[in-house]
Structure 1
Amino acid sequence: MSLIGDTKMDILIELKNGQAHGYAIAEEIGVSSGGIYTHLNELEKEGMIAVTEQREEGRKPSVFS
């Protein structure tokens, strides 16, 4: 029995390579761009990833690491 789901594990493996935006992670691991943020938010709440924001022309996309 796994303590973490396959999708969350794939996210952690992807982030091991460096910071990324949610959409880029979703594309890389084959998850819907809408569904990825549920997993990312859960990982953040569990203290397994950190979220930073970078301003791009008035927008503040989240960057996960």
Structure 2
Amino acid sequence: MEILRRLAEAPSYGYQLHKDVGVSTPTIYRHLNDLEDAGMVKSTPIEDDSRDKTEYHITDEGQQLLELLGD
């Protein structure tokens, strides 16, 4: 739920979420993939001069889940 809480505040990148939440990089991306498969988050590719990045956003369904759980 911490990932959804963070994304409800602002869109973010997986690496930034990894640093903010304090779990390993593979773990954060596994959770992001699971949340995206469940329709709770949406990923958007961002083209950058240095490298491609993916930005994650909470969906309406993800926001509704947070509200349902009282977060």
Which of the five TM-score ranges fits, normalised by the shorter chain? 0.7 to 0.9
The runs of 5 or more residues in structure 2 that have no matched partner are 58-71
- Give the helix-richer structure, 1 or 2: 2
Task: Return the structure number with greater strand share.
Answer: 2
Residue 64 of structure 1 corresponds to: 56
Pick from 8, 11, 19 the counterpart of residue 27 of structure 1: 19
1:37 corresponds in structure 2 to: 29
The reply on whether 1:13 has 2:5 as its aligned counterpart is yes
CA distance in 1, matches of 2:10, 2:45: 15
How far apart are residue 58 of structure 1 and its match? 5.9
- The alignment's TM-score, normalised by the length of structure 1, stands at 0.81
Identify unmatched segments of 5+ residues in structure 1: 1-8
Secondary structure of the structure 2 residue equivalent to 1:51? strand
Aligned length: 57
Q: Please identify runs of 4+ aligned residues in structure 1 that moved more than 6 A.
A: none
Residue 59 of structure 1 and its aligned partner are, at CA, apart by 2.6
